[in-house]
Amino acid sequence: MKLWAGRFSKEADERVNDFNSSIRFDSRMFREDIQGSLAHAAMLAGQGILSQEDEAAIAQGLEGILQDLESGKLAFDPDAEDIHMFIEAQLTSRIGQAGKRLHTARSRNDQVALDLRLYLRRELGEVEALLKGLISELCGQAAKYADTVMPGYTHLQRAQPITFGHHLMAYAWMFRRDLLRLRDAAGRMDSMPLGAGALAGTTYPIDRWQTAKALGFSEPCPNSLDGVSDRDYCIELASAFSILMMHLSRLAEEVVAWCSWEFKFIELDDAFATGSSIMPQKKNPDVAELVRGKAGRVYGDLMALLTMMKGLPLAYNKDMQEDKEAIFDGVDTVKLCLSTFTPMLATMTVLKDNMRAAAAKGFINATDCADYLVKKGMPFRDAYKLTGGLVAQCVREGRTLETLPLAEYQKASPLFQEDLYTAISLDTCVQGRTSYGGPAPASVLRQVGQMRAFLQELGD
Ligand code: ARG
């Protein structure tokens, strides 16, 4: 029998029941639902709306339900409409009359808005811990490979020499912004919906500040309609998750490339790679590929939320029940990806010699050759053109800038002297890039220091 049987003359069609029910996905908020109910009952009692005895019975009943759900003694009823109805029905079956008083001055609309915020707040703590783990892994590897020379690319063409540490730190800065974006969004969901009622507040003398404080929010939502209708926080989080997944996916793509025979810059640990069912030689970077693929599903979650909300009039509409599967999928996917990706990075082998060999090809010191002429007084544009001619000559003759004889250089310009070879050596090119934020080992170590200070400041 439905709670609202009084108004209805017929049972709901079984198909409607199943269609309407959200318990198969909202049951994961049972802790938050109970937490919210405990705070609500305490506030009602504090305001004299509920007797102390009823409140005590409700609190005891709810604690019992929590224990039994945690231990698995109590199973969710798949026929319940949602987690809120399920817990209320359980409570009433356990404690009788008092259970029926819990829903005074409350609606499932403010209840679900509260539960979702509480749930996401807790999950965000976990995402943040995983992100910190990733950033700190990147810092560790960057410090280790602060002076490991590799080619830097634009258009996937070898461009200028950088260090592997510098490349990894680029990602650390992206993930730092992702972390801050999530914190920022969490700050904006720091108001408490309970007491907004179905949409129009209540005539009971409730104290919303008390429940807000008890539940760890800085204030009650200041507008009851907004309080039950706002799903901005889901959209903001899904958007921050999407950006994070985009970053992770770019790094994943690089890992895939670096593992290939064409690059061979890294080798993944056997425990973080997979084989082929037919090709015995294969070692595939499945983890990185899956992370890259899963970015798409998180973008999908964001689109689902945006589209679901776009035409909804105030206040609550059942469409909004769709928010949970989308945002839960986003949280789950991000957590899953981060918790697999970080150990994959931690266990990879870096093939420094291959990186260096790749850096030695592709004329990535051509800018430095031009800069050499500039330092001797030639305007940059002339030096650029002249060096371009030398590169073309080397390509024709199968040489590199390092192996082109001085006599050939001097045919192009008398400014070239023996010290040119030091100026265009890979080590000079990398060590010399000391401009703030550059790839020189000292700069990489400075970045690692900045990043570690940031992590420390965040605390645990
Ligand atoms: N299961 C619903 C949801 O997830 C709870 C709120 C239902 N409210 C209502 N008036 N039907 O959105």
Q: Is residue 252 a contact partner of residue 341, using CB atoms and an 8 Å limit?
A: yes
Residue 324 CA, closest ligand 1 atom number: 4
pLDDT-derived band at 26, boundaries 50, 70, 90? very high
pLDDT-derived band at 194, boundaries 50, 70, 90? very high
User: Per-residue pLDDT for 376 more than 70?
Assistant: yes
Whether the upstream peptide bond of residue 346 has omega within 30° of 0, thus cis, is no
Ligand 1 center–CA 203 separation, angstroms? 22
Ligand 1 center–CA 109 separation, angstroms? 6
DSSP for 184-232?
Answer: HHHHHT-EE-TTSTTTT--SS---HHHHHHHTT-SEE-S-HHHHHH--H
Which residues are the active-site residues? 155, 276
What percent of the chain lies above the pLDDT cut of 70? 100
pLDDT for the residue numbered 8: 85
Ligand 1 center–CA 21 separation, angstroms? 9
Residue 83 CA, closest ligand 1 atom number: 1
Max CA separation in the chain (angstroms): 101
User: Per-residue pLDDT for 2 more than 80?
Assistant: no
User: Per-residue pLDDT for 247 more than 70?
Assistant: yes
Ligand 1 center–CA 439 separation, angstroms? 53
Ligand 1 pocket: which of 19, 29, 109, 312 to mutate (most atoms within 8 A of CB)? 109
pLDDT for the residue numbered 1: 64
Residues forming beta bridges with residue 158, ordered by sequence position: 153
Nearest to 139 by CA among 116, 104, 101, 165: 165
Q: Higher-confidence residue: 274 or 383?
A: 383
pLDDT for the residue numbered 357: 93
Helix, strand, or coil here: 102? coil
User: Per-residue pLDDT for 4 more than 90?
Assistant: no
Is 315 near ligand 1, meaning CB less than 6 Å away? no
Is 55 near ligand 1, meaning CB less than 6 Å away? no
Q: Is residue 132 a contact partner of residue 339, using CB atoms and an 8 Å limit?
A: no
Tokens of 368: 């430095």
Helix, strand, or coil here: 288? helix
Within a 13 Å sphere around the CA of 381, how many CA atoms are in the beta-carbon half? Answer: 0
pLDDT for the residue numbered 7: 83
Tokens of 234: 């889901």
Residue position matching structure tokens 């002249």: 386
Distance separating alpha carbons of residues 195 and 316, to the nearest angstrom: 14
Question: Could you give the angle at which helices 323-346 and 232-259 cross, rounded to 10 degrees?
Answer: 30
Mean pLDDT of the region 248-253: 98
Q: Is residue 37 a contact partner of residue 94, using CB atoms and an 8 Å limit?
A: no
pLDDT-derived band at 69, boundaries 50, 70, 90? very high
Is 27 near ligand 1, meaning CB less than 6 Å away? no
What percent of the chain lies above the pLDDT cut of 90? 91
Tokens of 110: 């403010």
User: Per-residue pLDDT for 12 more than 90?
Assistant: no
Q: Is residue 365 a contact partner of residue 431, using CB atoms and an 8 Å limit?
A: no
Mean pLDDT of the region 398-426: 93
pLDDT for the residue numbered 345: 98
User: Per-residue pLDDT for 278 more than 80?
Assistant: no
pLDDT-derived band at 180, boundaries 50, 70, 90? very high
User: Average pLDDT, whole number, for the chain?
Assistant: 96
User: Per-residue pLDDT for 10 more than 90?
Assistant: no
DSSP for 24-76?
Answer: HHHGGGHHHHHHHHHHHHHHHHHTTSS-HHHHHHHHHHHHHHHHHHHHTSS--
Measured by CA distance, the residue closest to atom 3 of ligand 1 is 321
Distance separating alpha carbons of residues 334 and 2, to the nearest angstrom: 37
Distance separating alpha carbons of residues 125 and 381, to the nearest angstrom: 52
pLDDT for the residue numbered 360: 87
Ligand 1 pocket: which of 112, 115, 231, 234 to mutate (most atoms within 8 A of CB)? 112
Is 109 near ligand 1, meaning CB less than 6 Å away? yes
pLDDT for the residue numbered 460: 65
pLDDT-derived band at 406, boundaries 50, 70, 90? very high
pLDDT for the residue numbered 9: 84
Nearest to 94 by CA among 71, 62, 70: 62
Q: What is the pLDDT of residues 109-122, one digit of tens each?
A: 999 999 999 999 99
The beta strand positions in 82-196, using DSSP E, are 149-154, 157-163, 191-192
User: Per-residue pLDDT for 275 more than 90?
Assistant: no
Phi, psi of 379 (to 5 degrees): -60, 145
The beta strand positions in 209-313, using DSSP E, are 219-220, 266-267
Within a 13 Å sphere around the CA of 41, how many CA atoms are in the beta-carbon half? Answer: 27
Is 175 near ligand 1, meaning CB less than 6 Å away? no
pTM of the model as a whole = 0.94
pLDDT for the residue numbered 280: 76
Distance separating alpha carbons of residues 226 and 148, to the nearest angstrom: 54
Ligand 1 pocket: which of 16, 25, 108, 324 to mutate (most atoms within 8 A of CB)? 108
Is 321 near ligand 1, meaning CB less than 6 Å away? yes
Distance separating alpha carbons of residues 457 and 459, to the nearest angstrom: 5
Buried b (16+ CB within 10 A) or exposed e, 8-29: eeeeeeeeeeeeebbbeebbbb
